[in-house]
Structure 1
């Protein structure tokens, strides 16, 4: 029996989104498009059982358990939450990133498509700011 081909990161994210509730799919696709279009060095994969976005460019060596390469991990359990694992380093002058966690993560809650459209520039700015601070 032939071994099944492993899906690429983008293929895995597409397959994940295809299985979501019809009401949520367009919201997640729009968020995906916004994040990926913000920088050429952003890629996607399934991590922690959800779509995740990470930096593919050069970085100083670091402990892999620090997850410094990950920009955003989606949390789609009961709501739409974008988790920035190292969000504390991002400029949050908009005040839309929430959370005061010891590990430095921040969150951006999304309530629907109108909310995505209202927060699109804040999301782009957060990703660009994160990239500008890569070590």
Structure 2
């Protein structure tokens, strides 16, 4: 039986960030730390060619195309913005106004363009993440 030499998810993300050439790399790294520090049930991986965070606890069976396990994915295509995409963000009762957009597929977004915004929006980000975790079907 062949040994799986694929690096662990955390190593994949660390490697990805080590190679990342983005003007807002400090913002990306700070957001990563906040997301992971919010709850031990949040895991990370590289998905859709970007750092991605998911619920790693037990869930009822579901169609993988529903993306119920995915919490937030970084979109780093723009050089002046770090966009956080919450694929199922519509399930969150966001009382903070942190999440933007009303996409029919249930996505919601949050934008960061400077490191000082990370600290200003930290509590709102963590509130949204915790609210998302409450919505998970256990």
TM-score bracket for this pair, using the shorter chain length = over 0.9
The answer as to 2:111 corresponding to 1:109 is yes
Does the aligned pair in 1 maintain the 2:98–2:125 contact within 8 Å?
no
Determine the C-alpha separation between the residues in 2 that align with 1:112 and 1:28. Answer: 10
How many pairs were matched up? 133
Match for residue 83 of structure 1 among 79, 82, 85: 85
Determine the C-alpha separation between the residues in 2 that align with 1:74 and 1:31. Answer: 9
Equivalent position of 1:72 in the other structure: 72
Determine the C-alpha separation between the residues in 1 that align with 2:7 and 2:117. Answer: 31
Equivalent position of 1:63 in the other structure: 63
Q: What is the CA-CA distance between 1:20 and the residue it aligns to?
A: 1.7
Q: What is the CA-CA distance between 1:4 and the residue it aligns to?
A: 8.3
- Aligned partner of residue 83 in structure 1, secondary structure: strand
Quick one: structure 1 residues 12 and 104, their matched pair in 2 at CA, closer, same or farther if it must change by over 3 Å?
same
Q: What is the CA-CA distance between 1:22 and the residue it aligns to?
A: 6.2
CA RMSD of aligned residues (A): 1.4
Determine the C-alpha separation between the residues in 2 that align with 1:28 and 1:17. Answer: 8
Determine the C-alpha separation between the residues in 2 that align with 1:4 and 1:24. Answer: 33
Determine the C-alpha separation between the residues in 2 that align with 1:22 and 1:106. Answer: 23
Q: What is the CA-CA distance between 1:34 and the residue it aligns to?
A: 0.3
Counterparts of residues 1-135 of structure 1 (less than 5 Å): 5-21=5-21, 23-78=23-78, 79-135=81-137
- Aligned partner of residue 103 in structure 1, secondary structure: coil
TM-score, with normalisation over the residues of structure 1?
Answer: 0.93
TM-score, with normalisation over the residues of structure 2?
Answer: 0.91
Does the aligned pair in 2 maintain the 1:18–1:25 contact within 8 Å?
no
